[in-house]
């Protein structure tokens, strides 16, 4: 059993909800642990009033490792802009924009590549706006901030690219397991000693339908995650694009890999102080929770809304195809000291490590642009 460690008020809210409604789906538990206003892991990040530390103390995403990442994303966007016959304005929407680090890098890099390009950049994130106020110099004034995807999709906005970096892996998921020839859901309950797992029939028949659509062949003891929020999110994304590309960078794999018996126990993990652990029912609100993204589902759902796969590869191959070596050489030459050059050199290599960030997957999906193909992806 797990001691009820974490933010006391958040733990009490979860206990109270279990007391009123019974065991929670893991989707609900994860949503509160990460996003409960003022208390969840992401909801309190950067909030000086809460006295919370920033997420980089627990993990670093690619744009936080080195700005070359945003510079190379800008190169891919430049390729897209040209393929679209250089529209003015060029409209980009970023999901899960965080503190605006990637947005800042992209805006500045595109301005260097094409000073006359009229870029309109929309950054979407459900985290507190105080995360943006913490570093105002990093957020160019041309970036427009939105609180959620549904809000922006209700507008008449037409985007040329919807991009995300480690957005989908932070979406709440249901946990399921295959035992005695049928599907069970893993709920979160409360005992005298803390939060515990509780098996019961699925809370939603869509969980069974999901596995049927994926044509998953499950074996006894298999445990995995299903994100029932994906269909609505993909629908909102597709609504934003009339002619353009969805660019997704995240941890994960295709369905066959995720459903493999070697992944018995699922892909759900917690991150705390740059270390991962399997104890997802402790440090409530104080550690990140993440699971691998089902890219097969992204492709399948995208096709339902006119989004056709346009390349799938690793971050390593993607960045190398965008000429990372020559860009890195130029950026290293601009460093003023030997120490800074070595620091940047090692940071850039981190983006390519096959046992680290380099193993992230990159997926492009296009609508109305059949000539577009993702940099670094093999053509089928």
Domains of the chain: 8-172+225-363 (3.40.50.12710)
* Rounded-to-integer distance, Cα 188 and Cα 170, Å: 18
Whether the pLDDT of residue 113 is over 50: the answer is yes
Whether the pLDDT of residue 28 is over 90: the answer is yes
Q: How far is CA 304 from CA 271, 279, 308, in A?
A: 34, 36, 9
Strand partners, 25: 187
Question: How would you class 92 by CB atoms within 10 Å of its CB: exposed for 0-12, middle for 13-18, buried for 19 or more?
Answer: buried
Q: Which range (49-58, 112-121, 141-150) has the least confidence?
A: 49-58
- For 239-277, give one letter per residue: b (16+ CB within 10 A) or e: bbbeebbbbbbbbbbbbeebbeeeeeebbbbbbbeeeee
Q: Report pLDDT for 192.
A: 85
Average pLDDT across the chain, whole number: 90
Q: What percent of the chain has pLDDT over 70?
A: 90
Closest CA to 364 of 311, 323, 317: 311
Question: Greater confidence, 332 or 380?
Answer: 332
Q: Report pLDDT for 272.
A: 84
Whether the pLDDT of residue 45 is over 60: the answer is yes
Q: How far is CA 271 from CA 33, 57, 169, 250, 275, in A?
A: 13, 10, 12, 16, 6
Whether the pLDDT of residue 322 is over 90: the answer is yes
Q: Report pLDDT for 34.
A: 96
Q: Report pLDDT for 215.
A: 84
Q: How far is CA 24 from CA 7, 31, 172, 205, in A?
A: 18, 11, 12, 16
Q: What percent of the chain has pLDDT over 90?
A: 74
Q: Report pLDDT for 131.
A: 61
Whether the pLDDT of residue 1 is over 60: the answer is no
Query: Residues 165, 295: contact at Cβ < 8 Å?
Result: no
Query: Residues 155, 236: contact at Cβ < 8 Å?
Result: no
Q: Report pLDDT for 214.
A: 86
Whether the pLDDT of residue 261 is over 50: the answer is no
């Amino acid at each position: 059993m797990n001691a009820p460690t974490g933010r006391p008020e958040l733990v009490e809210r979860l206990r109270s909800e279990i007391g009123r409604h019974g065991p929670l789906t893991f989707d609900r538990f994860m949503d509160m642990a990460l996003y409960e206003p003022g208390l969840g892991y992401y909801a309190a990040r950067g909030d000086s009033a809460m006295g919370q530390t920033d997420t980089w103390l627990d993990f670093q995403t690619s744009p936080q490792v080195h700005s070359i990442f945003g510079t190379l994303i800008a190169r891919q966007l430049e390729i897209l802009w040209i393929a679209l016959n250089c529209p003015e304005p060029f409209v980009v929407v970023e999901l899960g924009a965080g503190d605006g680090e990637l947005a800042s890098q992209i805006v500045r890099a595109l301005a260097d590549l094409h000073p006359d390009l009229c870029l309109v950049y929309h950054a979407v994130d459900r985290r507190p706006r105080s995360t943006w106020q913490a570093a105002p110099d990093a957020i160019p004034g041309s970036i427009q901030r939105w609180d959620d995807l549904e809000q922006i999709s209700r507008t008449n906005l037409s985007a040329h690219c919807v991009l995300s970096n480690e957005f989908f892996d932070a979406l709440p998921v249901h946990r399921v397991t295959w035992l005695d020839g049928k599907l069970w859901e893993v709920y979160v309950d409360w005992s005298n000693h803390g939060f515990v797992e509780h098996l019961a029939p699925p809370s939603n028949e869509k969980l069974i339908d999901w596995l049927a659509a994926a044509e998953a062949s499950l074996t006894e003891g298999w445990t995995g995650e299903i994100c029932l929020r994906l269909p609505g999110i993909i629908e909102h994304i597709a609504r934003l694009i009339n002619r353009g590309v969805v660019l997704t960078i995240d941890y994960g794999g295709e369905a066959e890999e995720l459903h493999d018996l070697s992944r018995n126990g699922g892909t759900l993990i917690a991150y705390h102080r740059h270390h991962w652990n399997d104890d997802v029912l402790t440090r409530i609100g104080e550690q990140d929770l993440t699971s691998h993204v089902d890219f097969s589902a992204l492709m399948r759902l995208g096709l339902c809304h006119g989004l056709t796969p346009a390349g799938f590869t690793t971050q390593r191959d993607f960045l190398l195809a965008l000429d990372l070596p020559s860009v890195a050489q130029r950026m290293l030459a601009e460093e003023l000291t030997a120490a800074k050059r070595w620091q940047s050199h090692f940071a850039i290599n981190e983006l390519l490590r096959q046992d680290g960030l380099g193993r992230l997957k990159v997926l492009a999906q296009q609508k109305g642009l059949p000539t577009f193909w993702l940099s670094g992806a093999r053509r089928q």
